[in-house]
């Protein structure tokens, strides 16, 4: 472990600081339609009329690569993220957006 830490401090961390444009962080978040508010506010004397999905609770997941200058390879899937869907995302969305390093 000590040797790995030395490699991290001496080589990898320094390279990351010199070339931050090469770093990509994966960001994943979700929204569930069950989070929809069932009550709201309206002006006095007016009825609030809005629709909310009832009985069709679904989860939608958003995943993207965060770079220091941009958001790359955004992807939205219906349902929660699974290992299989993460592999599909990397192969079909993220990998094609990467540049070949010479």
Percent of the chain past pLDDT 90, that is, above it, reads 31
Percent of the chain past pLDDT 70, that is, above it, reads 91
The domain locations on the chain are: 24-32+56-97
Over the chain, what is the mean pLDDT? 85
Q: What gap in Å lies between CA 23 and CA 88, rounded to an integer?
A: 20
pLDDT at 102: 44
Q: Which one has a higher pLDDT value, 74 or 31?
A: 74
**pTM, rounded to two decimals:** 0.66
Give 3's Cβ-side CA count (13 Å radius). 0
Burial profile 35-48: b = 16 or more Cβ within 10 angstroms, e = fewer: eeeeeeeeeeeeee
pLDDT at 64: 95
Phi, psi of 47 (to 5 degrees): -90, 140
């Amino acid at each position: 472990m000590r040797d790995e830490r030395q490699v991290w401090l001496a080589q990898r961390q320094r390279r990351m600081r010199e070339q931050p444009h090469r770093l990509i962080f994966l960001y994943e978040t979700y929204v569930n339609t069950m989070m929809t508010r069932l009550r709201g506010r309206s002006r006095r004397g007016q009825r609030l009329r809005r629709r909310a999905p009832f009985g069709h609770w679904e989860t939608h997941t958003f995943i993207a690569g965060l770079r220091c200058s941009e958001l790359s390879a955004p992807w939205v899937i219906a349902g929660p993220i699974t290992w299989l869907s993460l592999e599909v995302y990397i192969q079909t969305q993220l990998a094609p957006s990467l540049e070949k390093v010479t």
